């Protein structure tokens, strides 16, 4: 059974204090790993897709990396507007487009 | 280009009542999905439609039915609502034409069943 575990469940940072969020996954064959951002009362907003180990993608203060077992979302010098819940999901090989999501990680950045 | 739209935004039902959640996308996507999101549970797939005219069960389909009305629209019906169906419901769509596929989400419907 495909599984995704995100840690920590919640994280509080001071503005400018860099950190990383972890997403560990178990999947029969990885087709893609997705990161989403979700603001309160809104739907998930797509951030990145990673396809193979060693791949990295960046967007503003966010950088996502992928290994064979886990993905990290690095946040460099975060700002209060980076406060949100970050979701990780995996898509398995085999023809289905279904995503399996982790429970999410709530990030709070204090000014 | 509105992306994925959902109606209604909020709904309160009594146990046993029925309702249909509506979803539409204007991105010409082939696949559409319905998820529910509960505190501490993450997003769970209820039903999905890989293409117009097809639907398949996801992880938590019991108590729900779906209809892929056309390529744009995918509705979720609760025939006899139960308090356990209190949740936030998200519709998503994807192109489903490439090696991997990004799903784009709507704003959600917040449903309370009393």
Please give the interface size between A and B, counted as residue pairs whose CB atoms are below 8 Å apart: 55
Question: Rounded to an integer, what distance in angstroms lies between the CA atom of residue B7 and that of residue B11?
Answer: 9
pLDDT tens digits, one per residue of B39-98: 888 899 999 998 888 999 999 999 999 999 899 999 999 999 999 999 999 999 998 766
Tell if the CB–CB gap between B42 and A51 is shorter than 8 Å. no
How close, in Å, is residue B59 to chain A by CA atoms? Answer: 10
CA distance A111 to B90: 31
Q: Which residues make beta-bridge pairs with B12? A: B112
Residues of A in contact with B58 (CB under 8 A): 98
What phi and psi, each to the nearest 5 degrees, are found at residue B83? Answer: -55, -30
Cβ–Cβ gap B96/A51 under 8 Å: no
Please tell me what DSSP assigns to residue B73: B
Contacts of A34 in chain B (CB under 8 A): 102-103
pLDDT band, residue B99 (cuts 50/70/90): low
Categorize the per-residue pLDDT at B1 as very low, low, confident or very high, splitting at 50, 70 and 90: confident
End-to-end, the C-alpha distance of chain B in Å comes to 36
Neighbours of A59 (CB within 10 A): 11
Element (DSSP H or E) covering residue B64: strand B64-68
- Distance of alpha carbon A33 from alpha carbon A25, whole angstroms: 9
Q: How far is CA A84 from the centre of its chain?
A: 11
B100 has a pLDDT exceeding 70: no
pLDDT for A95: 61
B2, pLDDT greater than 90: no
Report the alpha-carbon distance of residue A97 to residue A107 in Å, rounded.
28
> Chain A contact for B44, CB < 8 A?
yes
Task: Kindly report, residue by residue over A33-47, the tens digit of the pLDDT.
Answer: 999 999 999 999 999
């Amino acid at each position: 059974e495909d599984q995704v575990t995100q840690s920590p469940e919640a994280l509080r940072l001071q503005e400018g204090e860099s950190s990383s969020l972890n997403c560990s996954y178990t999947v029969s064959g990885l087709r893609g790993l997705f990161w989403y951002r979700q603001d309160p009362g809104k739907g998930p907003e797509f951030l990145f897709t990673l396809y193979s180990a060693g791949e990295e993608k960046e967007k503003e203060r966010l950088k996502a990396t992928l290994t064979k077992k886990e993905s990290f979302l690095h946040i460099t010098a975060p700002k209060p507007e980076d406060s949100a819940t970050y979701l990780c999901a995996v898509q398995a090989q085999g023809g289905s487009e279904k995503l399996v999501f982790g429970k999410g990680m709530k990030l709070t950045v204090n000014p | 280009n509105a992306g994925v739209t959902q109606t209604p935004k909020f709904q309160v039902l009594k146990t046993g009542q029925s309702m249909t959640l509506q979803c539409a996308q204007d991105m010409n996507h082939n696949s559409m999905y319905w998820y529910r999101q509960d505190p501490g549970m993450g997003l769970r797939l209820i039903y999905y439609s890989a293409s117009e005219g097809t639907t398949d069960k996801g992880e938590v389909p019991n108590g729900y039915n779906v209809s892929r009305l056309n390529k744009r629209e995918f509705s979720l019906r609760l025939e006899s609502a139960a308090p356990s169906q209190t949740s936030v419901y998200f519709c998503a769509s994807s192109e489903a034409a490439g090696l991997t596929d990004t799903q784009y989400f709507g704003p959600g419907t917040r449903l309370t069943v009393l």
